[in-house]
Amino acid sequence: MKKLLIIIMLIVFLFPMNIYAEEDLLKNAKSGLLIEATTGEILYEKNMDEKVAVASMTKMVAQIIILENIENGTLTWDEKIKVSNNAAGMGGSQIWLQPGEEMTVRDLMKGITMASANDATVALAERIGGTEQNFVTMMNEKVKELGLKNTHFVNPTGLDEDNHYSSAYDMGMIAKELLTHEEILEFSSVYEDYIRQDTPNKFWLVNTNKLIRFYEGADGLKTGFTDNAGYCMAVTAKRDGMRLIAIVLGEDVGKVRNEETAELLDYGFNMYKVDLVKSKDEVITDIKIDKGDKDKISVSSNEDLLVLKKKSELSKDYDLETKLNEIKLPIKEGDVLGKVLVKEGNKIIKEAELVANESVNKLGYFKTLLETIKDILTGSMI
């Protein structure tokens, strides 16, 4: 018994775990949220629908629109943006852009993500929207597109203004959407960098999110502070194949914000895990093709099939059920052909789209005729 107690004490000493009960979390924050990023499942919430000021966390929506423009080709990382008087005149956090200065989209994005630069945000807003206000309209349209009801923006930066607000839940969904654009992590995971390289005005950037340096697995996402909003933070971290998003709003002290965000993430990583049922590159089944240039093709899920569980729950066997749409030729690789259901007993716990892993074309007229004759002859011989 003594030996067992000694072993237990050594384990606790050598491998400490910060375990927090739900009632101990976010004692000082106005509101907050913890979600698993892939499933979107809520692991913890405090006043998640309360409308509050969110400071520079507003910029996450601006980042989504910027990245969408990069992806659709209307903007490139190397394009140089000429800075307007309006952009250069922004107060608050900035990278000290000068009127008429030209800076690449990449360096402006560094400024937004790492230094929460208002001037860089407005410079890109004007490039994409034509005017700052047009870009704000685009931001509000994006929020509606995401189905969020407790968010409205008046500016792209998060500076305090009447009728500019969001909520912990909406910020969590915005962060989740932002993470679908994986390039954001190339910026948000960097602790320090430079802009205006090889010029007399070389500028050192240090990430406002200190957790990416001090919290294991943290690689984003956005901080904020104004007098009205207090200290705010959206942090994402990944461990053992599970990515969490923590939202903390309305803290009075920056250090406390960081500590409570870390505690919230600790709670999630200590209490939960994800089971990988099937990865998106694994074949789920083959489907028969009639009158195509292939007899069958394989199909897979369009995403990793992950199931969120408490660590205290035993992993169970999962069943996969496929539901196919009406198959019409031709089929292109990546076409959605139905859906796959992940079931635990009779309970559906996850579903995703089934996509074709290869393309199939219709048979030509004569080949179709030959196949029909073959079917008739085969049938007559049975």
31-50 pLDDT tens trace: 999 999 998 999 999 999 99
Q: Which of 30, 46, 59, 210 is catalytic?
A: 59
State the CB neighbour count (10 A cutoff) for residue 318.
17
Q: Which fold has domain 279-365?
A: Peptidoglycan synthesis regulatory factor (PBP3), Domain 2 (2.60.410)
Which is higher by pLDDT, 65 or 382? 65
The pLDDT of residue 281: 87
CATH H superfamily, domain 22-273: DD-peptidase/beta-lactamase superfamily (3.40.710.10)
Question: Once rounded to an integer, what is the mean pLDDT over residues 11-22?
Answer: 54
Question: Residue 122: pLDDT above 90?
Answer: yes
Q: What's the mean pLDDT when you consider all of the chain?
A: 92
Residue 298 is among the residues annotated as catalytic for this protein: no
Q: Which residues contact 189 (CB under 8 A, 6 or more apart)?
A: 212, 219, 220
Q: How many CA atoms lie within 13 A of 368 on its CB side?
A: 9
pLDDT at position 3: 57
Q: Degrees (nearest 5) of the Cα angle 200, 203, 206?
A: 160
What whole-number percentage of the chain has pLDDT above 70?
90
Is 116 an active-site residue? yes
Least confident stretch, 8-12, 30-34, 57-61, 104-108: 8-12
Sign of the torsion formed by the C-alpha atoms of 362, 365, 367 and 369: positive
Reported as a pLDDT band with limits 50, 70 and 90, residue 15 is very low
pLDDT above 90 covers a percentage of the chain that reads 82
pTM reported for the whole predicted model:
0.85
Candidate list 31, 56, 166, 300, residue with the active-site label? 56
Distant-in-sequence, close-in-space partners of 304: CB < 8 Å, separation ≥ 6:
38, 276, 278, 279, 280
In the chain, domain spans: 22-273, 279-365
Q: Contact 155/42 with Cβ under 8 angstroms?
A: no
Rounded Cα distance between 261 and 196, Å, is 33
Report the distance separating Cα 143 and Cα 374, nearest Å. Answer: 57
Q: Quick one: pLDDT band at residue 12, thresholds 50, 70, 90?
A: very low
Options 31, 116, 188, 300, the catalytic residue:
116
Encoded tokens for 366: 């004569």
